[in-house]
Amino acid sequence: MQDFLQLIVTGLVIGSVYALVAMGFALIYKSTSIINFAQGEFVLVGGYICWWLYTMLGIPIVWSFMLTMVIAVAMGVVLERLVLRPMIGEPIISVIMITIALATVLKSLVTILWGTQIKVFTPAIFSQKAIHMGPILISEVYLWTFGFAFLFLGIFAAFFKFTRVGISMRAVANDQQVAQSMGISVKRVFAISWSIGALVSAVGGLLVGNINGINITLSDFGLKVFPAVILGGLDSIGGAIIGGLTIGILENIMGSYLDVYLGGGVKEIAPFIVLIIILMVKPYGLFGIKEIERV
């Protein structure tokens, strides 16, 4: 039982980061109807930029963190304006291919600038010291990661619910034409959605990178977040958060108990097993809105 609780707690930690990145994924889709396959590359870029500012340039972590967020927001706005906005009205497959191409370009740029070797934040941002929480043993870095992830989730939940911009984004997500007729700038909302999507992904890259180090495979994080978004529902931000936490726990438990019998690798494929099951049983996710098309 103690081992099971340990798996749940550590799964919640990584799941909280999945939830953070999944929120950005769902936000972009809900506001713009675009499935962003470059979300994992946003995680990658954010992690590398913060590492470069902190470790290579020696900028204090607080300022490195702030600068990383500013750069991420700028990246989201620029990419939306130059790459995605011209694709408005184009076939959805063309837009999807653009995001895949964007992912390839970002990963290639990271490889050119920083290589593919593992980079470690030096000195470590958070301590690796283990803390006893009842029967559970957890590292300080996991607690900080969980805390920061939920801090950002809470901030953006309040932002969407109570701020004027957040309400505008919800209006555009519900009906773009009605929102535009009420004087809301849909293009501005698109830009904000992409900037927030890039921001939360960059924060996710920093949090994960501080645990395991950063290398080019960090971009795979976006693929593992996709099942979390599908589980919660592509158009449900709250569902994406719940999906992220669920996937984090499931992959940890499945990897721990099944690797012994299957020779390893279960943890890596667990999210996609969940994805297949959800698509077969409930294609719109747990909290997604079922759409009926009239023909």
- CA–CA separation, 233 vs 220, rounded Å? 20
pLDDT at 28: 86
Largest Cα span, the chain: 61
Q: Is residue 104 scored above 90 in pLDDT?
A: yes
Q: Give the domain ranges of the chain.
A: 2-281
The per-residue pLDDT for range 65-97, each reduced to its tens digit, is: 999 999 999 999 999 898 888 887 778 888 889
> Which residue from 266, 223, 258, 255 is spatially nearest to 44, judged by alpha carbons?
223
Angle at 273 (CA atoms; ends 272, 275), nearest 5 degrees = 60
Quote the pTM value. Answer: 0.89
The 3-class secondary structure across 71-136, one letter per residue, is HHHHHHHHHHHHHHHHHCCCCHHHHHHHHHHHHHHHHHHHHHHHCCCCECCCCCCCCCCEEEECCE
The per-residue pLDDT for range 108-118, each reduced to its tens digit, is: 999 999 988 89
| Radius of gyration over every alpha carbon of the chain, rounded to an integer in angstroms | 19
The per-residue pLDDT for range 139-154, each reduced to its tens digit, is: 888 889 999 999 998 8
DSSP-assigned letters across all residues of 167-201: HHHHHHHH-HHHHHHTT--HHHHHHHHHHHHHHHH
CATH number for region 2-281: 1.10.3470
